[in-house]
Amino acid sequence: MTALRGKELLMTVWAPVDAAEPETEYRWLARVWLLVAAFAVVTLLRSEQVGIGLKDPHGEILRSRVALSLGLFLVLALGDAWLRAGRTDRSARRVLEVLRQRWTGRRLALAMAGLLAYHLVYFCYHNLKSWDVLRAPRDAMLLGWDRWLFLGHSPAVLLHDLLGQHVAAYVLMGIYESFAWLVSLSFVAALVFPSRIRDGFVFIASALWVWILGVGSYYLIPSLGPFHAAPQDFAGLPHTMIQDTQARYMAQRAHLLAHPHAAGSFAQVSAFASLHVAVTTLMLLMARYYRMRRTTVLMTAFLAGTLVATVYLGWHFAVDDLAGLVIAVVSVALGRRMIYPRRAAAATSDEAVAAPGVFEGVPS
């Protein structure tokens, strides 16, 4: 049994999903890039409207993140080849042989196309998000909605009373700050580990929709967050990097408003909807879609912590989190339809997790 499970872990491949569609059919990839192109056009039109060019201050959004993704890609590809080499021979020569066999020119080109599509959309998203601060925020309305939902109380204050304002603050800070690394790892892993790379593009396409719908929600209801709208609710929290980041974001916003054409003027603060919640929910739904049982359990716990952290630390209103959940569900539905339109059209609610896991038959 142990040997069998080990063999499944190392050698199984994903079952083909739309067998009628040959591997040389790339309409799904064309749909991805049409979405990227359309979003780029929207970004350029908005840039023309506000009179501010596209920016990548210090290369932090595009250049640095692309470099990080390529580094992670190399590490994960080597790890994947090491697993697939088998327990009996994991010599450097064998691992390199598996690596060459697995990463054909076609597969590598598709993976790079996926990474590029993701980063271009993310770059456009950040520029659109920056320009959203030129519009008047509506935090008072969101604050009122939160108070109405919680019968006149601040949900953040209720959490502070329930969890305390010391140890919980540091734990929730750790959960909140780990988000960026988890996201960077997850979408690269989605392109590395599947035996059929098209399956990994379900994650990529869904992520594109999260960033696109997310920035749309920023423009629907411009906002800064409860830490700015109701600072008194967070006065009892210990001073951590959270407050420093919030202060830096507000300084960035003020600088952009005062000097919109300056090379370094770039804003990063928006509250509605919470894309921390949306992207975390996306990762949970993808883990379930790929039948990664243990990962699904872990991501469920991480999502719960993220929901609490965003409100507790003052980054988001509770309604922001609800909107983030909706965005994730809609994005996954759109992403699946883009990559596997036949299967998505035919799927019932019971078939929502029909895709086999990365290592079929093994808890993951």
Domain of residue 337: give its range: 26-59+123-351
Task: Among 53-62, 121-130, 151-160, 172-181, name the one with the lowest average pLDDT.
Answer: 53-62
Residues 6+ apart with CB under 8 A from 252: 265, 266, 267, 268, 269
Residues 6+ apart with CB under 8 A from 129: 215, 218, 267, 268, 270
pLDDT in the model for residue 342: 81
Alpha-helix runs per DSSP H in the chain: 2-11, 27-50, 63-84, 92-102, 105-131, 139-149, 155-163, 167-177, 179-192, 197-220, 226-229, 241-258, 275-289, 293-312, 318-339, 341-346
pLDDT in the model for residue 92: 86
Distance of CA 207 to the CA centre of its chain: 6
Q: What's the number of domains the chain is made of? A: 1
Q: For residue 68, tell me if it sits in a domain.
A: no
Is the confidence at residue 27, as pLDDT, over 90? yes
pLDDT in the model for residue 10: 32
Is the confidence at residue 363, as pLDDT, over 70? no
pLDDT in the model for residue 86: 80
What is the Cα–Cα distance from 238 to 167, expressed in whole angstroms? 9
Q: What is the mean pLDDT of the chain?
A: 88
pLDDT in the model for residue 352: 38
pLDDT in the model for residue 6: 37
Q: For residue 114, tell me if it sits in a domain.
A: no
Is the confidence at residue 107, as pLDDT, over 80? yes
Question: C-alpha angle 148/150/152, rounded to 5°?
Answer: 60
70-85 mean pLDDT: 93
Task: Among 6-10, 183-187, 245-249, name the one with the lowest average pLDDT.
Answer: 6-10
pLDDT in the model for residue 148: 96
Q: For residue 100, tell me if it sits in a domain.
A: no
Is the confidence at residue 17, as pLDDT, over 90? no
Q: For residue 98, tell me if it sits in a domain.
A: no
226-235 mean pLDDT: 96
Give phi and psi for 61, each to the nearest 5. Answer: -90, -45
- For residue 162, give both structure tokens: 């329930």
What is the Cα–Cα distance from 341 to 25, expressed in whole angstroms? 13
104-128 mean pLDDT: 97
Q: For residue 70, tell me if it sits in a domain.
A: no
Q: For residue 8, tell me if it sits in a domain.
A: no
pLDDT in the model for residue 263: 85
Question: What is the value of pTM for the model shown?
Answer: 0.88
Is the confidence at residue 353, as pLDDT, over 90? no
Question: C-alpha angle 73/81/299, rounded to 5°?
Answer: 60
pLDDT in the model for residue 345: 56
Listed residue (2, 14, 1, 8) closest to 355, CA to CA: 14
Q: For residue 77, tell me if it sits in a domain.
A: no
What is the Cα–Cα distance from 113 to 32, expressed in whole angstroms? 10
Q: How far are the Cα atoms of 73, 186, 200, 352, 362 from residue 356, in angstroms, in the given order? A: 22, 17, 12, 11, 11
pLDDT in the model for residue 9: 32
What is the Cα–Cα distance from 218 to 128, expressed in whole angstroms? 9
pLDDT in the model for residue 213: 98
Sign of the dihedral defined by the CA atoms of residues 110, 112, 115, 116, in that order: negative
